């Protein structure tokens, strides 16, 4: 595997979508990850074979974070956490509350997720009044 040509950042962003609750999004992410690997001259097998035998990850490290600096939560995590504490959350449906909690698992959000967050946040703000 030629690490220089493998776009690790892009691969990490795509693999975040493997945890999506939507089958289509997970499948699209898997296919995109395969294309990124192929473009970098790698396969799933070479990627896995390149992992250390017994990895003991640094508890403060995040996959794909190669700058060695301190790891901070993505900006949307702080915003969602604050919104979940507001009284207007009671006006949300179970799906909307689950959506907010689900977004906390991702390092990045798609445009569709960000748009939905805007709608949910607006509903919370209206209910707070």
- Check whether 119 has a pLDDT greater than 90: yes
Number of H helices, E strands in the chain: 6, 0
CA dihedral angle for residue 109, residue 112, residue 33, residue 73, rounded to 10 degrees: 0
The DSSP code for 92 is S
Mean pLDDT, the chain, as a whole number?
79
- Check whether 14 has a pLDDT greater than 50: yes
pLDDT for res 60: 45
pTM above 0.85, yes or no: no
pLDDT for res 69: 53
pLDDT tens digits along 65-92: 455 555 567 788 888 888 888 898 999 9
Q: Which residue has the higher pLDDT, 127 or 6?
A: 127
């Amino acid at each position: 595997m030629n690490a220089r040509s493998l776009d690790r950042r892009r691969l990490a962003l795509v693999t975040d979508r493997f945890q999506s609750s939507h089958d289509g999004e997970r499948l699209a992410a898997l296919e995109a990850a395969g294309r990124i690997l192929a473009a970098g001259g790698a396969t799933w097998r070479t990627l896995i074979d390149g992992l250390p035998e017994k990895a003991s990850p640094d508890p403060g490290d995040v996959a794909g974070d190669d700058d060695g600096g301190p790891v901070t939560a993505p900006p949307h995590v702080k915003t969602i956490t604050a919104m979940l504490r507001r009284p207007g959350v009671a006006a949300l449906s179970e799906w909307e509350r689950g959506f907010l909690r689900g977004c906390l698992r991702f390092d990045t959000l798609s445009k569709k997720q960000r748009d939905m967050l805007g709608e949910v946040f607006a509903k919370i703000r209206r209910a707070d009044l």
